[in-house]
Amino acid sequence: MRVSIVSLLATTLAISVSATGVQYTVITIETSQDESNPDGANSTIVVPVGPLYKNKTALASVSKLSILRDDSVSCIPYYAEIATGPHGNPFTFGHPVEFPDDPVVVGSIMCTGAMGQEAITNVSRKSTTP
């Protein structure tokens, strides 16, 4: 019984972990309507959990960021391309971040998971051991 519970947990965790062992989350970028973008726009990006994410094109004009279907991840949008200094509020699934002076340029995003990458890898290894 214990082995099947651990196996089920490992299977659930592996859904958001790639073959290289890096966890990813999907973030929606919303851009509000303005003179340069009269229709507004939504797009999605796939962001690694742990490493700093940078994408000058996708993050050039942001009014709102939200995480899709992943309640184990929290992200912080930074205005610079490094994860220090001024930043927007952290955001999680169901709790997006909106920028009051929209649209803004987001330089980078740092996401962290509820479980560290080492814990995810260790759970996966334990589930394959007889």
Question: Cα(44)–Cα(65) distance, rounded to whole angstroms?
Answer: 10
**For each of the chain's 130 residues, which pLDDT tens digit applies?**
333 333 333 333 334 455 567 899 999 999 876 666 666 689 999 999 999 999 999 999 999 999 998 889 999 999 999 999 999 999 999 999 999 777 899 999 999 997 544 444 333 333 344 4
Question: Residue 103 CA to chain centroid, in angstroms?
Answer: 20
DSSP codes of every residue in 39-58: T-EEEEEEEESSS-B--TTT
Domain boundaries, the chain: 22-115
Q: Is the pTM of this model over 0.75?
A: no
What is the number of other CB atoms lying within 10 angstroms of the CB of residue 25? 23
**114 by DSSP, 3-state: which?**
coil
| Amino acid at position 76, single letter | I
* CATH number of the domain located at residue range(s) 22-115 in this protein: 2.60.20.10
